[in-house]
A and B are shown apart, each in its own frame.
Chain A
Amino acid sequence: DTAVSQTPKYLVTQMGNDKSIKCEQNLGHDTMYWYKQDSKKFLKIMFSYNNKELIINETVPNRFSPKSPDKAHLNLHINSLELGDSAVYFCASSQALPGDANSQETQYFGPGTRLLVL
């Protein structure tokens, strides 16, 4: 019954490796997001997709490439991992886009993927 799920929950890898994080939502939402939460717990938007189209790309290095095979899935691939990529990555989904000023813009978050780059 998990609404937004992410895999893996933990990811420990060496600098320079390439890794992927997967996200799935079963809420029937049209919009999905990736957020990064750093060691100071600051939550910052990375990408948002609406109906499989990229809407937001917030000054994220091009080593990060999101891919949305369908509306229920948004994966995040990271090339050439760096120490500074260590963080918790959250996927989220909503029916409507932020700023639509209605209850359907509420975002629901997954449990997070804890990435540690050594």
Chain B
Amino acid sequence: EDQVTQSPEALRLQEGESSSLNCSYTVSGLRGLFWYRQDPGKGPEFLFTLYSAGEEKEKERLKATLTKKESFLHITAPKPEDSATYLCAVPQRGNSGAGSYQLTFGKGTKLSVIP
């Protein structure tokens, strides 16, 4: 069964300590991979979409990369305000509706950046 797996489940970093979050997928025929950020008590906020292996996108301290099996979200010199849960998602064929896709989310990585 197609699935999206994120690791680690939780990550604590000191301010300025760079690291990476992983999102691996087994969807056949990838039709995009999405990264979202979710703050406590809020809805997911869109960060990036990647469509092709080798593609990279950057936004401030975040850089997302994509291979044929996984995506990484690199966080360079994080700040406390980067603390959030980071979700990745891929379109997957739904159980209803011919040819329709749904966005399937991983369980997220909860990032805590300590001052």
Contact = CB atoms under 8 A, between A and B. Distances in A.
A63 interface: no
B68 interface: no
Contact of B43 (A40, A45, A109): A109
B49 to A, nearest CB: 6
Interface in B21-49: 31-32, 34, 36, 38, 41-46, 49
Kindly state the interface size class of chain B when it binds its partner: 20 to 34
Kindly state the interface size class of chain A when it binds its partner: 20 to 34
Contacts of B31: 98-101
Interface stretch (B12-20, B59-67, B72-80, B101-109): B101-109
Contacts of B93: 99
Interface in A33-71: 33, 40-45, 48, 55-59
A55 B44 CA distance: 22
B8 interface: no
Contact of A41 (B49, B102, B107): B107
Nearest to B96: A57
26 contacts: A41-B85, A43-B44, A43-B87, A45-B94, A45-B103, A48-B100, A48-B102, A55-B94, A55-B100, A56-B96, A58-B94, A58-B95, A58-B102, A90-B44, A92-B43, A97-B100, A98-B101, A99-B31, A99-B91, A99-B101, A100-B31, A101-B32, A101-B51, A105-B32, A108-B46, A109-B44
